[in-house]
């Protein structure tokens, strides 16, 4: 297993100041798979991605990518590692002052010495892969939300990364764009032979495309399994999450004092 794992996360703890986010998380991402990390908002999913990308340091434990411990890398080592990673941000994070073409070409121009004709072919190939070859002359502001996400996806895979991270790729998309992006995540992963991590809370879409799912709540992994296992799971948290129930282990009400008392209702005993 471990020889096949691209990313290993062992006993990772992390806190913003005194606010503890992750409390001993263990995850393994095998090569070639698409893995989903799920959990409620603010449970530390994005923090996990930032730990893998080396933007944050764990206070305990380690994150290993391709056999190297991320937080022990020096600046150059980290930058070399990041060139082999791609990350799709929540709303795409396209560079607003550049055209679609320049956005996709950006990393090729920064990190390679390829002549402009080859870059042009590569950019058009990447854009074609996400079905948007015709948009190369547009500016990001002229794209719809779903198209911007796909262009960002093309930019993310511009240098054929070994690890692709997706931070909430389905947020704010209509159902059609949503399934388009979902399918692209799967297809690009298989076509590039990469490993993908999808941080999301869109259960239904993820169940269709991923190989393995981790559930995180309160800073620990509370459930894991293949989509089939998850959708039939009878763990209360997973059940509530998958079926989107209002009340359950994650309560509807923010902890507060007694309702009747707050409304000054005196029980006539």
Partner 1 sequence: MIVVENIRSIGRRIVSTVWRTGYATRFFLLILFYSGVSFRRFHLIIKELFSSGVMSLIIILVAGMFVGMVLGLQGYETLKRYGSESALGSLVALSLVRELGPVLAALLFASRAGSAMTAEIGLMKATEQISAMEMMAINPIARVVAPRFWAGVISMPLLSALFSAMGIFGGYVVGVVLIGVDQGSFWSQMQAAVDFKYDILNGMIKSVVFGVAVTAIALFEGYDAPPTAEGVSGATTRTVVESSLAVLFLDFILTAFMFQGG
Binding site for partner 1 (CB under 8 A): 53, 55, 78-80, 82-83, 85-87, 89-91, 93-97, 106-107, 110-111
* Other beta carbons within 10 Å of 3: 7
Phi then psi for 6, rounded to 5 degrees? -85, -40
Residue 111 or 243: which CB sits closer to partner 1? Answer: 111
In the complex, least distance from residue 89 CB atom to partner 1, rounded to whole angstroms: 4
In the complex, least distance from residue 131 CB atom to partner 1, rounded to whole angstroms: 22
Residue 62 or 106: which CB sits closer to partner 1? Answer: 106
Residue 81 or 223: which CB sits closer to partner 1? Answer: 81
Residue 137 or 253: which CB sits closer to partner 1? Answer: 137
In the complex, least distance from residue 259 CB atom to partner 1, rounded to whole angstroms: 33
Residue 78 or 124: which CB sits closer to partner 1? Answer: 78
Alpha helix stretches (DSSP H) within 62-115: 75-83, 100-111
The sign of the torsion formed by the CA atoms of 50, 52, 56, 62 equals positive
Residue 16 or 79: which CB sits closer to partner 1? Answer: 79
In the complex, least distance from residue 82 CB atom to partner 1, rounded to whole angstroms: 4
Q: How far apart are CA 242 and CA 233, in angstroms?
A: 9
56-60 own/partner pairs: CB under 8 Å, 24+ apart: 56/14, 58/12, 58/13, 58/14, 58/22, 59/13, 59/14, 59/15, 60/11, 60/12, 60/13, 60/24
108-132 CB burial, b ≥16 within 10 A, e <16: beeeeeeeeeebeebbeebbebbeb
In the complex, least distance from residue 107 CB atom to partner 1, rounded to whole angstroms: 5
In the complex, least distance from residue 140 CB atom to partner 1, rounded to whole angstroms: 10
Eight-class DSSP state of 264: T
- Residue 153: which of 121, 119, 180 has the closest Cα? 180
């Amino acid at each position: 297993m471990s020889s096949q794992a691209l990313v290993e996360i062992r006993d990772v703890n992390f806190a913003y100041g005194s606010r503890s986010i992750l409390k001993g998380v263990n995850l393994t991402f095998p090569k070639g798979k698409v893995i989903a990390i799920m959990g409620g908002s603010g449970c530390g999913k994005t923090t996990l991605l930032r730990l893998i990308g080396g933007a944050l340091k764990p206070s305990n434990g380690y994150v290993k990518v391709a056999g190297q411990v991320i937080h022990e890398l020096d600046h150059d080592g980290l930058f070399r590692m990041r060139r082999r990673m791609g990350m799709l941000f929540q709303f795409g994070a396209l560079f607003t002052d550049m055209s679609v073409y320049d956005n996709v070409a950006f990393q090729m121009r920064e990190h390679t010495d390829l002549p402009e004709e080859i870059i042009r072919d590569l950019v058009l190939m990447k854009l074609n892969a996400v079905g948007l070859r015709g948009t190369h002359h547009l500016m990001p502001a002229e794209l719809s939300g779903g198209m911007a996400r796909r262009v960002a996806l093309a930019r993310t895979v511009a240098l054929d990364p070994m690890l692709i991270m997706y931070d909430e790729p389905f947020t704010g998309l209509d159902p059609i764009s949503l399934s388009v992006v979902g399918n692209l995540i799967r297809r690009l992963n298989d076509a590039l032979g990469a490993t993908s991590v999808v941080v999301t809370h869109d259960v239904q879409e993820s169940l269709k495309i991923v190989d393995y799912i981790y559930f995180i709540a309160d800073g620990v992994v509370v459930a894991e399994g293949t989509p089939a296992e998850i959708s039939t799971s009878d763990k209360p948290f997973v059940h509530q999450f998958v079926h989107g129930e209002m009340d359950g282990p994650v309560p509807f009400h923010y902890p507060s004092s007694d309702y009747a008392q707050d409304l000054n209702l005196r029980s006539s005993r």
